Structures are given as C-alpha cells and as structure tokens.
C-alpha cells in the first residue's frame, strides 16, 4: 500500500491548498544593528540580493546584500506564482566588530573580532530580547507579535562558557537564541498563509523608541562604539516555488 501523504490543506477561511510544487524551504532576510540605535521599527524582507541590507539608521553606509543575507525574489511581496504557509519564525543572531575609520560605515563585511565572535554575548542577547519585539504583518494585519526571545533559533553553536580573561578586559559569556534542538522552536497552532502578490512585513520593533545601547561589548573598550549585531530571520513552513 502507498504511504499516507498530505496532499491538501484546508485553511480556517475554508480555502483548500493543493500541495503541488511545494517544498519545505525557509525564506530568510537579515538586518544589521549598530550600537546605540534609536529606530522604532526596522523592517526585514524588504530587499533582495544586490540591494542594501536593511539596517538601523545610525549605519550611514550599508552593506550590499549577498546570498547569505536573503533568498527572497521580490521585496515585501510574493510573486503571483508563489505562496507560503508559515509555521514558525526563527532568529539567528551574530555579533561583529565594524572595521574602518567610522563605526557607522558598514560598506564591507564586518570583521569577527573580540573573544568568541561571532557567537553573541549572552548579556547583550538577553538585553536585546528584553527590549525588542518581532511582528509579522500580512496585508496590514498582525499575525505574530511577541518578544524577540520568543522566536527560538533551535540550531547553531551553543555555549554558556566564559571566554577570555578578566585581566585582558575581554571576558565574555557566550550564548545563542535558545537551545539548539529541533524541538525547541514553537510552531504556530495555525499556519499563517501568504498568498501570491500579497504584501508582508517582518518588523523588529523598539517600542520604547529610546537608544538601545549594546552592553558588555566584545573586545576592548576601544571597540565599544563599533559593535554590530546581525539578525537573520527565517520564515519556515511550506513554500510554493515560483513558476519559471
């Protein structure tokens, strides 16, 4: 006998989706944050490869996006032949030191400097989780809204060790967005549907609107103003590929 397979999904509104040309492939987009940013909202999934990476406004020269920054085909919307059922959102954080004469100039890839980089420092990651919200908005309707720490990474390097020495002034505790196990991320009770040509936004929200200082920074005091955090966001679920 043939094994049972899911061939159709019925959405809460009664619409039936036939799983033809669908795959389990995440869409992802990255944002760059510089120490002390004051933006109230920073949007992801609003650029494609070769555009400028979305970033906080205190970055005056942004990086040019490559395949490691995003894999979407059009900014902020799906093509007419694309669809997606989003089952969860994941956040993959990295911490860098910006090189060059100005901390606000991130025209080239930042360097991995400081002890333990690019793994995030535990205190800084926890602080960002306490200050920032993440919101998924589709056709101007809110479908997800929770603290940054709610969206577990579920993979990647994991450590709670102390790296470096106190004498050198670079001692750090290292961490990532949750425990790296497949069962750690929480899936939505009901998947979120993004239809063809439908607009969507993933917003990183600083609800206080005040500066977000990067505490307990990597490297020596001289590097304090040049710490950069890159957050790669994943929309995971069933993705209907565009028809060429």
Helix or strand or coil: residue 221?
Answer: helix
- Percent of the chain whose pLDDT exceeds 90: 39
What DSSP character marks residue 225? G
| Total Cβ atoms within 10 A of residue 221 | 9
Say if residues 47 and 64 touch (Cβ distance below 8 Å). Answer: no
Kindly tell me if the per-residue pLDDT of 92 is higher than 70.
yes
Kindly tell me if the per-residue pLDDT of 2 is higher than 50.
no
The number of CA neighbours under 13 Å toward the Cβ of 130 is: 10
Identify the CA nearest to 11 among candidates 201, 138, 199, 186.
138
As a whole number of angstroms, the distance between CA 240 and CA 94 comes to: 29
Q: What is the mean pLDDT of residues 96-116?
A: 60
Kindly tell me if the per-residue pLDDT of 185 is higher than 60.
yes
What DSSP character marks residue 212? B
Identify the CA nearest to 95 among candidates 28, 177, 21.
177
- pLDDT tens per residue, range 171-180: 566 666 766 6
Tokens representing 159 are 């450590």
Averaged pLDDT score across all residues of the chain: 80
- Percent of the chain whose pLDDT exceeds 70: 71
Q: List all residues 6 or more positions away from 111 whose beta carbon is below 8 Å from its beta carbon.
A: 96, 97, 98, 99
**Confidence band of 147 (pLDDT split at 50, 70, 90):** very high
Looking at per-residue pLDDT, the higher value among 241 and 5 belongs to 241
The string of DSSP codes covering 90-144 is EEEEEEEE--SS-TTB--SPPB--STTTTSEEHHHHHHHHHHEEEEEEETTEEEE
Strand partners, 232: 30, 92
Helix or strand or coil: residue 150?
Answer: helix
| Total Cβ atoms within 10 A of residue 216 | 15
pLDDT for position 161 = 56
């Amino acid at each position: 006998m043939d094994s049972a397979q899911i061939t159709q999904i019925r959405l809460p509104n009664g619409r039936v989706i036939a799983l033809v040309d669908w795959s389990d492939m995440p869409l992802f987009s990255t944002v760059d944050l510089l120490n002390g940013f004051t933006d109230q909202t920073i949007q992801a999934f609003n650029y494609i490869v070769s555009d400028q990476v979305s970033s906080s406004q205190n970055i005056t020269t942004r990086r040019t996006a490559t395949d490691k920054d995003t894999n979407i085909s059009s900014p902020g919307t799906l093509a007419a032949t694309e669809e997606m059922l989003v089952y969860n959102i994941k956040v993959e954080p990295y911490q860098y030191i910006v090189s060059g004469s100005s901390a606000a100039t991130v025209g080239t890839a930042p360097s991995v400097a400081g002890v333990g980089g690019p793994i995030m420092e535990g205190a800084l990651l926890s602080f960002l989780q306490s200050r920032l919200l993440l919101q998924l908005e589709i056709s101007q309707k809110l479908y997800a809204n929770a603290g940054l720490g709610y969206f577990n990474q579920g993979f990647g390097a994991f450590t709670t060790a102390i790296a470096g020495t106190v004498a050198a002034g670079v001692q750090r505790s290292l961490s990532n967005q949750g425990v790296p196990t497949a069962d750690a991320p929480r899936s939505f009770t009901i998947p979120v549907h993004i239809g063809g040509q439908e607009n969507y936004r993933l917003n990183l929200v600083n609800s206080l609107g005040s500066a977000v200082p990067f505490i307990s920074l990597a490297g020596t005091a001289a590097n304090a103003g040049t710490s950069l955090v890159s957050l790669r966001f994943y929309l995971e679920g069933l993705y209907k590929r565009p028809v060429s």
